[in-house]
Chain A
Amino acid sequence: MNEQILIAGFGGQGVLSMGKMLAEAAMAEGHEVSWLPSYGPEMRGGTSNVSVNISDKPIGAPIISPGDATCVMAMNLPSLTKFESFVKPGGLLLVNSSIIDKKATRTDITVYYVKANDLANELGNPKTANMIMLGAYLEKAKVVKPETMLDQLRAVFGAKKPQLVELNENALKKGADSAK
Chain B
Amino acid sequence: MARVLMKGNEAIAEAAIAAGCRFFFGYPITPQSEVPEYFSIRMPEVGGTFVQAESEVAAVNMLYGAAGTGVRAMTSSSSPGFSLKQEGISYIACAEIPAVVVNIMRGGPGLGSIQASQADYFQATKGGGHGDYRLLVYAPASIQEACDLMATAFDRSQKYRCVSMILGDGMLGQMMEPVEIKPVEVKQYDNSWATVGWADKSRPRAVVNSLYITHEELGAVNKRLQAKYKEIAANEVMVEEFNMDQPEFVIVAFGTVARIAKNAVAKLKEQGINVGLIRPITVWPFPYCSLEKAAAMNSVKGFLTVEVSAGQLVEDVRLGVNGKKPVELHNTLGSVYPTPDEIVESILALKGRK
Contact = CB atoms under 8 A, between A and B. Distances in A.
Interface of A: 20, 23-24, 27, 32-37, 39-41, 58-63, 65-66
A33 B177 contact: yes
A63 B177 contact: no
Contacts of B262: 60-61
Contacts of B192: none
A167 B260 CA distance: 39
Contact of A35 (B5, B340, B341): B5
Given A27-B5, A39-B114, A62 B175 contact: yes
Contact of A63 (B30, B176, B178, B260): B260
Contacts of B176: 20, 23, 33-36
Contact of A39 (B174, B256, B341): B174
Given A34-B175, A36-B174, A39-B174, A60 B266 contact: yes
Contact of B5 (A33, A37, A61, A65): A33
Contacts of B142: 58
Nearest to A63: B337
A41 B111 CA distance: 14
Contacts of B178: 27, 32-33
A180 B60 CA distance: 58
A27 B260 contact: no
B226 interface: no
Contacts of B337: 63
B263 A61 contact: yes
B340 A23 contact: no
B259 A60 contact: yes
A61 B114 contact: no
A60 B174 contact: no
Interface in B296-314: none
B55 interface: no
A35 B174 CA distance: 9
B106 to A, nearest CB: 11
Interface string B329-348: 00000000101110000000
Residue of A20, A33, A60, A65 contacting most chain B CB atoms (<10 Å): A60
Given A33-B176, A35-B176, A39-B30, 14 more contacts: A20-B5, A20-B176, A23-B176, A24-B5, A34-B175, A34-B177, A37-B174, A37-B175, A39-B170, A40-B115, A58-B142, A60-B259, A61-B256, A62-B259
Nearest to A58: B142
Nearest to A65: B339
B31 interface: yes
B341 A65 contact: yes
A20 B176 CA distance: 9
A20 B263 CA distance: 23
Given A35-B175, A35-B177, A65-B339, A41 B114 contact: yes
**Do most interface residues of chain B lie in helix, strand or loop, or is the interface mixed?**
mixed
Contacts of A62: 171, 175, 177, 256, 259
Interface residues of B, number: 24
Contacts of B259: 59-62
Contacts of A33: 5, 176-178
Given A60-B263, A61-B340, A62-B259, A36 B175 contact: yes
Nearest to A37: B174
A67 to B, nearest CB: 8
A63 B171 CA distance: 9
A63 B342 CA distance: 14
Nearest to A33: B178
A46 to B, nearest CB: 14
B324 interface: no
A60 B243 CA distance: 14
A130 B264 CA distance: 33
A102 B187 CA distance: 62
Counting from the closest, the 4 A-B pairs by CB-CB distance are A35-B176, A60-B263, A61-B260, A65-B339
Interface in B182-227: none
Given A40-B115, A65-B339, A27 B3 contact: yes
B338 to A, nearest CB: 9
Nearest to A52: B176
A65 B142 CA distance: 19
Interface in B91-148: 114-115, 142
B111 to A, nearest CB: 12
A35 B179 CA distance: 13
A39 B31 CA distance: 9
Contacts of A41: 114
Contacts of B174: 36-37, 39
Contacts of B260: 60-61, 63
B255 to A, nearest CB: 12
Nearest to B341: A65
A38 B115 CA distance: 9
Please indicate which of the listed interface residues A33, A36, A40 has the most CB atoms of chain B within 10 Å of its own CB.
A36
